[in-house]
Structure 1
Amino acid sequence: MRIVFMGTPEFAVASLEALIESGSDIVGVVTAPDKPAGRGQKMSESAVKQYALANGLKVLQPVKLKDEQFLEELRALRADLQVVVAFRMLPEVVWSMPPLGTINLHASLLPQYRGAAPINWVLINGEKESGVTTFFLKQEIDTGHILFTEKITLTGHETAGELHDRLMDKGAGLLVKTVKAVESGRYTENPQEHLAEGIELKHAPKIFKEDCNINWNQPAEKVYNFIRGLSPYPTAYTMLNDKILKVFGAEYELAETGEQPGEFFSDNRTFLKVSATDGFVHLTDVQLEGKKRMGIEEFLRGVRL
């Protein structure tokens, strides 16, 4: 079975590697165009491109997915199946091209948390479980018929970075299982409309910088979930001495503070905590604007509050 793989970030590399190791015939890889990055604005290749080139795979990097030259190159690969992991939304002319269709790996238990940032939103909302889902693509984003899912239990303390790595590995295995099932024809399609009946669906829209500002006027646990759900990227932040303070790590305690939410308290040596509506959030891993990221004791050695 001839497979075209589509993906861009590190999350997708694990799936591509697993498919290759399972013996899948990857006839082409579609990824994002190179883009300038860093202070020197040097052209940067996606993680998927780097892996693909290192393994001798053909790489396509279309700027526009409806570009006729790209579509001709894609048709020429004669794929039986396309596999999408952490890529962009595909037009119908692309996802409908292979005879066996196009499957997608999504980092949530669909139909819950459709959208661009499921890992972040699952933690922000304090969910007790998450997982990965494979499904056939159709026009509306993340709504196609489900093939397989696999659940994991959440601890209530992991960061988005840690959950990313867990789901990356879990998803790679599920994708190999899905591809083998599609190749053999032994699978069942489960319409998401049936699974969504009678339940409240939660969504996972893309998160922008302005969405990352911490609202201290809410319970401490909710603030804590917000911080870990955005760590290490795109990172929750608050203001300290008129500068942006990014918060990568925190803990929380419940207490009757008697203080206004958002007040800072510190002994200038070992702790920095901020009042919420029902307790305090202790900041443990931070980065002040213009400074490097550091643990709270190192941070307090250089900043007088």
Structure 2
Amino acid sequence: MSENKLKIVFFGTPEFAVASLDRLMKDGQDIAAVVTMPDKIAGRGHKLIQSDVKRYAVENGLRVLQPEKLKSPDFVEELRAINADLFIVIAFRMLPEVVWSMPRLGTFNLHASLLPKYRGAAPINWAVINGETETGVTTFFLKHEIDTGDIIEQRTIAILPEDNVGDVHDKLMTLGADMVAHTVMDIAAGNVTPQPQPEGEFIPAPKIFKDTCRIAWDRPATEIHNLVRGLSPYPAAWSTFEDSRTLGTFADVKIFETALCGDTPAGNRKPGEVIVAKDRLFVAVADGMLEIVSLQPAGKKRMGADAFLRGYKPERFV
């Protein structure tokens, strides 16, 4: 590494952040500490679950800090004692000013959208749900209001028609790691000229809740198709179906993949009514039909529509 090597504290939690941390390590940057969420108790065995970032940090011998409260005087003093040049934040909690204002070169965030579009907790999901054909990553310096700081760098990728949110996540994770490394080098060399975010282009990307994921079959096919893509493979769009063998009995099902049917009419069928044709599963929607390609009934594994139809006789989705 050159004389521009920086002492960095890295803040992050999920897999998305690990790629950037790994890239910085391979570039020879001085990762003085990693800050991540406290371990959580989860599952039937009540096991302690570590974040992806913590697992990587432990495996690579990095110092790990897991504060319950980011304003805790003990944590703030611990950070201050590190005397880092730069803080980097990727998929972490909102930092208080006492933290993000600490390093001499500031604190920058990697966000998985082309800011100011898709500010919020779920930018990748909402870009796909809204049918965008491109998205990207942004590095920007933190300030008081979340996701509003001055832009350092942006890079763009296409969202292909067949991409789901998992595909786009993985592309942005790799692209983002490269851009984080480049941003660090530019900051170290004094080659950054941050630009204010453009006005009037704000699109929200709020947190995804269970109700967000429920399919409304009285919507157009393209809208439902994009919702499924934007939630697949996780957390997954879902619906409830009535089985014709036991009318009045309903069960939940996750839907991972659909296919558009062009202008195929649904006849006089109401939205949600099922059409089965040669082991293929179609559902009437507002402007025609939509094919369900893969899905997962409650308590079962993910399966193709043909396998689903061998075990179930759906009458309608509601």
TM interval, short-chain normalised: over 0.9
Q: Which residue type is aligned with residue 192 of structure 2?
A: Y
SS at match of 2:117: coil
List aligned pairs for 1:99-138, cutoff 5 A: 99-138=104-143
Q: Does 1:255 align with 2:256?
A: no
Structure 2 length-normalised TM: 0.92
* Corresponding residue of 1:97: 102
Q: Deviations over 1:104-143 (max 9, x none)?
A: 0000000110000000000000011100000000110100
Contact 2:134–2:158 (CA<8 Å) still a contact in 1?
yes
Q: Which residue type is aligned with residue 202 of structure 2?
A: L
Q: Which residue type is aligned with residue 261 of structure 1?
A: P
* Corresponding residue of 1:237: 238
- In the aligned structure 2, how far is the partner of 1:166 from the partner of 1:282? 27
Contact 1:28–1:58 (CA<8 Å) still a contact in 2?
yes
* Corresponding residue of 2:205: 204
Contact 1:18–1:173 (CA<8 Å) still a contact in 2?
yes
SS at match of 2:203: coil
Larger Rg: 2
Count matched residues: 300
- In the aligned structure 2, how far is the partner of 1:126 from the partner of 1:304? 32
Unaligned runs of 5+ in 1: none
Q: Which residue type is aligned with residue 21 of structure 2?
A: L
Contact 2:265–2:289 (CA<8 Å) still a contact in 1?
no
Percentage identity across aligned positions? 54
* Corresponding residue of 2:68: 63
Q: Which residue type is aligned with residue 265 of structure 1?
A: I
List aligned pairs for 1:28-177, cutoff 5 A: 28-177=33-182
- In the aligned structure 2, how far is the partner of 1:69 from the partner of 1:270? 62
- In the aligned structure 1, how far is the partner of 2:310 from the partner of 2:89? 47
Q: Which residue type is aligned with residue 15 of structure 2?
A: E
Q: Which runs of 4+ in 1 moved over 4 A?
A: none
Contact 1:252–1:279 (CA<8 Å) still a contact in 2?
no
- In the aligned structure 1, how far is the partner of 2:306 from the partner of 2:276? 11
SS at match of 1:173: helix
* Corresponding residue of 1:278: 287
Structure 1 length-normalised TM: 0.96
Unaligned runs of 5+ in 2: 1-5, 243-249
Q: Which residue type is aligned with residue 252 of structure 2?
A: I
- In the aligned structure 2, how far is the partner of 1:301 from the partner of 1:243? 16
Q: For 2:311, which of 289, 302, 305 is the aligned residue?
A: 302
Q: Which residue type is aligned with residue 248 of structure 1?
A: F
Contact 1:250–1:285 (CA<8 Å) still a contact in 2?
yes
SS at match of 1:248: strand
- In the aligned structure 1, how far is the partner of 2:69 from the partner of 2:145? 19
How far off its partner does 1:37 sit? 2.2
Q: Which residue type is aligned with residue 103 of structure 2?
A: P
- In the aligned structure 2, how far is the partner of 1:262 from the partner of 1:238? 10
- In the aligned structure 2, how far is the partner of 1:257 from the partner of 1:281? 9
Contact 2:116–2:201 (CA<8 Å) still a contact in 1?
no
- In the aligned structure 1, how far is the partner of 2:201 from the partner of 2:48? 43
Contact 1:249–1:283 (CA<8 Å) still a contact in 2?
yes
* Corresponding residue of 1:219: 220
Q: Deviations over 1:158-197 (max 9, x none)?
A: 11011000000000000000001011111111001xx12x
Q: Which residue type is aligned with residue 293 of structure 2?
A: T
* Corresponding residue of 2:246: none
- In the aligned structure 2, how far is the partner of 1:141 from the partner of 1:222? 29
Q: Deviations over 1:199-218 (max 9, x none)?
A: 44211010111111101111
How far off its partner does 1:156 sit? 2.1
Q: Deviations over 1:252-281 (max 9, x none)?
A: 1132213211112224x6211111111211
* Corresponding residue of 2:24: 19
